[in-house]
Amino acid sequence: MPQLARLFFYEALASLALMCGIIAYKGKRTNAAEIVLKGLKKLEYRGYDSWGVAVRSNHTKQISIYKRTGKIGELNLKNIKLPVGNLAMAHSRWATHGGVTQKNAHPHASCGNRIVVIHNGIIENFLALKKELQKKGHKFISETDTEVAAHLIEEYLKGLRVEGRGLRVQKLKEAVQKALKRMEGRSAFLVMSTDCDAIVAARRGSPLIIGKGQDGEYFIASDIPAFLQYTNRVMYLDDNEMVVLDGGHEFYNVSDGKSVKKRIVEIHWKPEQAEKGRFPHFMIKEIMEQKETIHRAINQEEKLIMRVADSINKAFGTYLVGCGTAGKVCMAASYLFSKIAKKHINVEFGSEFPNFHHFIKNRSLLIAVSQSGETADTLEAMEVARKKGAKLMTIVNVEGSSMDRMADLAIHIKAGPEKAVASTKATTSQLAILTLLAYACAGKLNEGRKVLVEAASQINDMLNPRYEKYISMLARKIKHVESMYVIGRGMNFPMALESAIKLQEVSYIHAEGFAGGELKHGPIALISQGTPCIVLVANDETRSDVISNAIEIKARGGFIIGVAPQREEVFDYWIRVPDVGNASPIVNIIPVQLLAYQLAVLRKNNPDMPRNLAKSVTVK
């Protein structure tokens, strides 16, 4: 492939790069391989197509690597010959640079295995670095960008065979630091060496979290559930920082090498929250948890809510920014702020926000909405707004995430770990918070709480086995369709878009969402005999219009599925939802979440790990 074509190819791949899984252990236990592989299994929800582990032998001081394509499965460590060691790291890969092969799986090693690396993200200038290293005699065995990092670090260590453990660790740290300065792109790296029993980790964009256990025990992971059973005490690497774990922890700035102090944060998640328990999949568990998560979301300190509302009211332009599902939540919120608080709120997807930076002033406010707090495009939007002097706020699930730390103000949705790729409980919690803020901006905080508490109570009644069975009957009726559509009006138009995302993600059925009034401007041409169309109805000023739209679809042969507080004559199948006023986007999306889940199961898809997707997109 010509070099220019390859560059375009890799640029396209970079736009698709998703969050892989990282876990490492450094401590006194000698079963480090078992610890990291169990941790890696807890990160399976992030999506991957290959995996691997590296262990430094306590006896020989050499590093052994084991890697495979496919899923980890029920791994029997007795069947793979890994040495006894108290230092190990593991990685699950979603292919970007290079195909799904055992050679391309992580970890990657330098010549002679002196340096071993695992990596999330993209090294954008890897082709130039690879060419330079090949001229110096380095031999590459994979097609990946990651392998460049191992060879580049080794190059900076060439000729250094220093004595003294502390000095060897220091030289490794310096070599990693020099290599990081050469590599471009958003990445997270973990590095081991045969020279010393330390781990060096660094971050530029992709998240890394350090867990501090007892007696000098440390973990590094891309997400907390990987080590939550061992410790809930964490430290976060910020952008352009590195850490050396060598019986203790030392943080540094990559640019100047200066020491950085970190505080230890206690995470209040329980290990069982990150497990499926009695449920067959995380997705259905998280749907059912909405009986409780909406209550937790709105249980916020009044001072915080009013402080954020005051910032919105005083801002010279407020911008809601999110990607994917969070973007649809932002769209729904713009309707809520208009209706409840009589305020105009700007909405942009994170990836598109940089095109609108011209409007940002130092009195503007950007509100970033995210489950993970690590979405690359939304983080970039925050960076753009910060450079213009705007105030930053975030609505986020993961405490201590990049967005949480970057923001001037943060509201945590308190949903607990969300492990299914398709967001459910985080979505409705985000909607609840934004609804509460709209009421607070209007000076009606208590009224907003009352509306949301009532909605949460009715959701508790709604999510029962009979309701689930009723929706599964519908799933069986439509499981073989090729296409389906969703319409809504007003604040339920964004929920029509979000419904389509849910159906696409896990059922793999072609689904599209539309504003009901836009049907006659083109989309109604897609309707044929038996085409399913979900109609999201609220008992408000949009009700009669969206019912009229449903009648138009039925007249052309459509199969009408009504999600509504009351039965309408046009419905071929009625899914009842409670009448909760301005909280209707919250209750209307839940039955579609259930339907998407049931369709996925019937069509023998994995609803927790849809193909081509992962939980967090941490590179552009």
Annotated catalytic residue, options 71, 111, 615, 620: 615
Query: Is residue 174 within 8 Å of residue 201, measured between CB atoms?
Result: no
**Shortest CA distance to 487 belongs to which of 440, 441, 523, 457?**
523
Positive or negative, the CA dihedral 317, 400, 370, 106 is positive
**Shortest CA distance to 47 belongs to which of 90, 94, 117, 86?**
94
Side chain identity at 610, as an amino acid letter? P
Query: Is residue 57 within 8 Å of residue 85, measured between CB atoms?
Result: yes
Active-site residue flag, 42: no
**By three-state DSSP, how is residue 564 classified?**
strand
Side chain identity at 520, as an amino acid letter? K
Query: Is residue 179 within 8 Å of residue 149, measured between CB atoms?
Result: yes
Query: Is residue 22 within 8 Å of residue 52, measured between CB atoms?
Result: no
Gyration radius from the chain CA atoms: 25
Active-site residue flag, 441: no
Annotated catalytic residue, options 20, 196, 323, 330: 20
Q: d(Cα 492, Cα 451) in Å, to the nearest integer?
A: 17
**By three-state DSSP, how is residue 38 classified?**
helix
List CB contacts of 33: < 8 A, sequence separation 6 or more.
53, 55, 77, 82, 83, 85, 88
Neighbours of 415 (CB within 10 A): 26
List CB contacts of 402: < 8 A, sequence separation 6 or more.
207, 238, 239, 373, 374, 379
Q: d(Cα 281, Cα 90) in Å, to the nearest integer?
A: 24
Side chain identity at 131, as an amino acid letter? K
The encoded tokens of residue 237 equal 């690497």
Strand 318-322 to strand 346-349: parallel, antiparallel, or no bridges (unpaired)?
Answer: parallel
Return the bridge partners of 510, or none: 483
Side chain identity at 312, as an amino acid letter? I
The catalytic site residues sit at 20, 615
